[in-house]
Chain A
Amino acid sequence: KAGVTQTPRYLIKTRGQQVTLSCSPISGHRSVSWYQQTPGQGLQFLFEYFSETQRNKGNFPGRFSGRQFSNSRSEMNVSTLELGDSALYLCASSLDAGPETQYFGPGTRLLVL
């Protein structure tokens, strides 16, 4: 079974631009979570989607948003990029509702210049 896939793998943007990252969960998984990893803050939870609904949200500004489609694929968007948004963005999928094990994708490395 294919794992979690994320596109693109690498991205370079400039301040003020916006970016959209994509995540395809493991087949059959209905929950998708997003995390940001930076050297200073470590791994931080962004949001979680289940059945096209945002169920949980971390402590990030409104510039960070996401959505989930009917096929469970998810996208996250960051508007008005700041230098501090440079990070590895990791997507994770889990089977169902509930505290299931989350399986992670390879991440999208975003560099904001």
Chain B
Amino acid sequence: AQKVTQAQTEISVVEKEDVTLDCVYETRDTTYYLFWYKQPPSGELVFLIRRNSFDEQNEISGRYSWNFQKSTSSFNFTITASQVVDSAVYFCALSGVRSNDYKLSFGAGTTVTVRA
């Protein structure tokens, strides 16, 4: 079974602070995909990043960066210099690669509130 744990339920920061969201996953597969999605108040899940289990390089996209560490089964997400528009619920998710396992298993989500 696949499991994703986001231990932080809520994080509140002041604008321009950095915020790191933790994600720990469990899977028996050696090949898998990890994702981060953002859910603003409107409700739509917005795709942020996909990373396969063989690619442990960190990635940076603007103010967003991701740290994937297979040894600790973690895929953490950092928002640098946070802005009010970053306020949302962020979900980490895991997917298998077999045809019967393409579904996304989501963590419980972390609510980020950025105060002006």
Contact = CB atoms under 8 A, between A and B. Distances in A.
Interface residues of B, number: 25
Interface stretch (A11-19, A61-69, A70-78, A94-102): A94-102
Classify the secondary structure of A's interface with B.
Answer: strand
B70 interface: no
Interface string A6-49: 00000000000000000000000001010100000011010010
A101 B50 contact: yes
A106 B44 contact: yes
A73 B101 CA distance: 21
Range of interface residues on A (Cβ < 8 Å): 20 to 34
A33 B101 CA distance: 12
B101 A90 contact: no
Nearest to B107: A42
B47 A106 contact: no
Contacts of A33: 102-104
B45 A90 contact: yes
Given A90-B45, A104-B45, A106-B43, A99 B106 contact: no
Contacts, number: 58
B64 interface: no
A56 interface: yes
A101 B37 CA distance: 11
Interface stretch (B54-62, B73-81, B92-100): B92-100
A103 B95 CA distance: 14
A103 B47 contact: yes
B100 A99 contact: no
Nearest to B100: A56
Contacts of B37: 104
Interface of A: 31, 33, 35, 42-43, 45, 48, 55-56, 58, 88, 90, 92, 94, 97-107, 109
